[in-house]
Structure 1
Amino acid sequence: MSSIGVLKIALLAGGTSSEREVSLKGAEVVKKALEKLGHKYEFFDPAQDLPKLAQRAKEFDCAFLVVHGPGGEDGTLQGFLDSIGLPYQGAGVLGSALAMHKGISKSLYKLAGLNVPEGKTFSKDSSFEIIKTYGEKIGFPLVVKPATQGSSIGLSVVKDKKDLKKAVEAAFNVDREIILEKYLKGKEITVGILDDKPLPVVEIVPKVSEIFDYETKYTPGLSEEICPARLSERLTKKAQEYGLIAHKTLKLRHYSRTDMIIVEDEIYVLETNTIPGMTETSLLPLAAKVAGYSFPALIQKLLELTLRDKNT
């Protein structure tokens, strides 16, 4: 055990988003790590247990969040924990909200000098004609995705304009705002940040799907993750620098993971995850492992960062 001693932790997972199942899977892995570290924990599901946690907040040293998507990663839960005085790992309210909206985070990336794919945000009030006109302007294939969902839920690659309406409806089915974006074909990578330092770059090679979609992300064997990524030293450094710029631009803390794509030696930033996945197939734990952190050591590091920053 380190200097923080034995902790009593409120482990939050589940919630009401479409990523509930992934969240619960991650929590099982985190539970084993906490047991190995000798910490005590109690499980709370934000879908129903928040009133109970509010009453008992003083019993815990901190919360540990394994909650993804709206209601868990968008600042809502972070605001609740701030209000009951319970410290937690990862981004605060502002950073969570900024990173959750892919359209807003994309605008901030651009202001910070990062490359992003050409694209635009549309609300449910937008007529399909306006959306179609923009789609034709950027050309096919293009990507249609919800503005505030994670795990590639509701995302489609549209190769032909006859399929655009179906993809737009699918994205609006899970979100009030959607993004149309130029489809970039290249090498998919992701850069984790831990304690304001970049981790080794992970390269993602989908084996079946042409994109790293929900099924590919969470089904072992459907993609190959290579860490360190097969990149030149120059591109590796540039990707890590981009990951750190994205992390700082979105006002994040402790850790994050930014997804990117490399097209002809040019790196484009796609999105940043403020509560990266913690399942057996997750990417940030893989990068941390290559950097020398076992899974329990990664959890311990995040707990140390949480307690270090609880008064800041």
Structure 2
Amino acid sequence: MSTAMSTAPDVVVLAGGISHERDISLRSGRRVADALTGFGWHVRVLDSDARLLPSLLERRPDVVWPALHGASGEDGTLRSFFDATGLTYVGSRGAAARLAWDKPAAKRLIGQAGGATPPWLSMTRDVFREVGAQAAIDLIGTAFPEPVVKPARGGSAQGVTIVRDSNRLPRALMDAFTYGDELLVEERVDGTEIAVSVLEDDDGVHALPAVEIVPTGGVYGFEERYNAGETRFYTPARIAESAATAAAELAVLAHRVLGLRHLSRIDLIVDASGSPWFLEAQVSPGLTETSLLPQSLIASGGDLGQAYAALASRALAD
């Protein structure tokens, strides 16, 4: 569908919310709104609050763009409401978003589809208490000598710890449980951390050039994601062509297996042999000035306004 229309579409960009990532969402929403406005669309930014749903149902915009991060934008609940009420929106459907939000479920599906993902286990807070904290810690320490511990659901690396010292494992588990009642323990893969953004157009599903992520402090945490100067990015990633091709194929596989729609960002790590490993999928990738999808799009020669208008047009056509 062409992005040029006789009457400029009415777009509502959702940004803000009450998650830990509110500020990032506001920045992402503003970037989307500016890009679409520059392309001639009528855009209004709305916060996610008690007035949101009545306002959307009353106004019924041509298209909604959820630029919400954290649970409100990515766990599928709000999107399922849009599905039930027939609102047109950019991004994955509610059921697919819920799958991607659930890291253990996503890893299980990718593994079953033949994609590589690091060995892992998940544990609920209740089981942790039932079997005894020390027994659980001993089991994890034996099975995963240098694990990555993270909340089973969540984004922006909040509650994530790379445990290089076994004495840090109990604290890492508690930090992950701060963000939810289930955590994921994953074997750390040593390699090059990359993100591959995936976009859909009339010709199919395409992977953009991989972005290599090199945090100055060695860990790509929350601060390193959103503060300029904390991380160096290389687009395209400084990996072999064969590794880049394999990473793109794995990203597209993840997008399709999880049933994602329009856009996604797939986080991977490429090991020393050039093999990519799936880590997690984002249905509402950051769109701030330091975010990865915009960097990749620009590096590929794309225009943000045109790309965002094309995505919104695609949502109108679906």
| TM-score interval, normalised by the smaller of the two chains | over 0.9
SS of the counterpart of 1:14?
A: coil
Query: 1:54: Cα distance to partner?
Result: 4.1
Query: 1:56: Cα distance to partner?
Result: 1.4
Q: Are 2:31 and 1:23 equivalent residues in the alignment?
A: no
SS of the counterpart of 2:50?
A: coil
SS of the counterpart of 2:280?
A: strand
Note the aligned Cα RMSD (angstroms): 1.5
**Distance in 1 separating the partners of 2:116 and 2:54:** 44
SS of the counterpart of 1:296?
A: helix
Give the counterpart letter for 1:198 in structure 2.
A
Give the counterpart letter for 2:185 in structure 1.
L
Give the counterpart letter for 1:234 in structure 2.
S
Would you say the 8 A contact 2:31–2:287 is kept in 1?
yes
**Distance in 2 separating the partners of 1:300 and 1:134:** 50
Match of 1:176 in 2: 181
Query: 1:275: Cα distance to partner?
Result: 1.0
Query: 1:298: Cα distance to partner?
Result: 1.9
**Distance in 1 separating the partners of 2:51 and 2:142:** 47
Match of 1:63 in 2: 64
Which of 265, 275, 280 is the equivalent residue of 1:257? 265
SS of the counterpart of 1:72?
A: helix
Would you say the 8 A contact 1:57–1:86 is kept in 2?
no
Query: 1:188: Cα distance to partner?
Result: 0.6
**Distance in 1 separating the partners of 2:229 and 2:307:** 24
Give the counterpart letter for 2:52 in structure 1.
L
SS of the counterpart of 2:306?
A: helix
**Stretch deviating more after TM superposition (16-25 or 121-130):** 121-130
1:200-228 alpha-carbon deviations (Å, 9 max, x no partner): 111111112x2211111111111111111
1:149-185 alpha-carbon deviations (Å, 9 max, x no partner): 1000111111222221111111111111101111222
Match of 2:294 in 1: 285
Q: Are 2:200 and 1:192 equivalent residues in the alignment?
A: no
TM-score normalized by the length of structure 1: 0.94
- Structure 2 gaps of 5+ residues are none
**Distance in 2 separating the partners of 1:136 and 1:77:** 38
Which of 9, 14, 39 is the equivalent residue of 1:12? 14
Query: 1:276: Cα distance to partner?
Result: 0.8
Would you say the 8 A contact 2:20–2:70 is kept in 1?
yes
TM-score normalized by the length of structure 2: 0.92
Query: 1:47: Cα distance to partner?
Result: 2.9
Would you say the 8 A contact 1:57–1:85 is kept in 2?
no
Q: Are 2:50 and 1:43 equivalent residues in the alignment?
A: no
Give the counterpart letter for 2:251 in structure 1.
G
Match of 2:232 in 1: 224
Match of 2:140 in 1: 135
Q: How many residues align?
A: 307
Query: 1:197: Cα distance to partner?
Result: 0.8
1:258-299 alpha-carbon deviations (Å, 9 max, x no partner): 011111122111001111111000101111112222221221
Would you say the 8 A contact 2:210–2:237 is kept in 1?
yes
Would you say the 8 A contact 2:243–2:270 is kept in 1?
no
- Compared with structure 1, are the counterparts of its residues 201 and 176 closer, same or farther at alpha carbon in structure 2 (3 Å cutoff)? same
**Distance in 2 separating the partners of 1:234 and 1:89:** 32
Match of 2:82 in 1: 81
Give the counterpart letter for 1:168 in structure 2.
L
Query: 1:115: Cα distance to partner?
Result: 1.1
Match of 2:170 in 1: 165
